[in-house]
Amino acid sequence: QVVNRVSLITGASGALGSVICNQLVRTNEVKIVTVRRDSNNSYLNNFKEQVDANRDSELVLVHCGWDTTDRTALAQSRSKEETIILSDHCAERGIKMIFISSHSASENAQSNYGEAKFIAENYVLSTGGICIKPGLILFEPPAGLQRKLLVLSRVGIGLNFFPKSKITVTEIQNVLYEINKLICGETWNSSNILLTDRQVDLNVLCSVTLAKHFLTIPVPLRLLRRITRIIGIMSRKSIGVHDSLSAIID
């Protein structure tokens, strides 16, 4: 029996969401539907519309959408509450939900982002959803933090962070592989999926986009957000600047 599978994706314009869409669109078994925010910056209304429009299909929600531009407690709380509401709707309608969480999500998180994602993550798990915690994702071609570093490397500027810090990184291919398995129904259980490949030094990560540096700038780790915000201004696509850095800062 052929199953009509539809994957609803929030945050499809972001670094990870766009890659997931591009990957799944090549899979004939899965139809991709992007869920858009409304004038109130909420996915809920369009989510309901798309669910009703595809009621005869097997639905999976991949929730990548999260406010990474405003790190205030209020903005992060809104993203958390919306994730909780989406989780409830998925549970009520029998829709599988995959929430893209973060290694920043922990009980003792030092940021509003990490604290809010930890609460949302536990709620999604309690309603039968799946949470993927990929850490810092290495995109090919570079995206997120790597793309910002590439902008500088092209003009001969390198960054050297101190104090030295280890960070968990995951290849984008591994993330896509796990998501594709879940959407296609090969495996499904309510537990965290930790996609931890390896721990690397932050300065090693910077050299991923190494071209030829004529100037190396030492950057204190405590100023990392400010520095990358400036880098983001230099790039045409500044989506997800902080999202890639949260695991480092927390």
C-alpha distances in angstroms, 209 versus 12, 90, 186, 202, 234? Answer: 25, 40, 35, 12, 16
- The position carrying tokens 């790039």 is 235
- Confidence (pLDDT) at 238: 46
C-alpha distances in angstroms, 219 versus 36, 145, 149, 169? Answer: 37, 15, 13, 20
Terminal-residue alpha carbon distance, the chain: 47
pLDDT band at 241 (very low <50, low <70, confident <90, very high): very low
pLDDT digits (tens, 9 = 90+) for 148-159: 777 777 778 877
* β-pairing verdict for 166-171 and 136-138: parallel
Q: What is the pTM of this model?
A: 0.84
| 218/32 Cα distance (integer angstroms) | 43
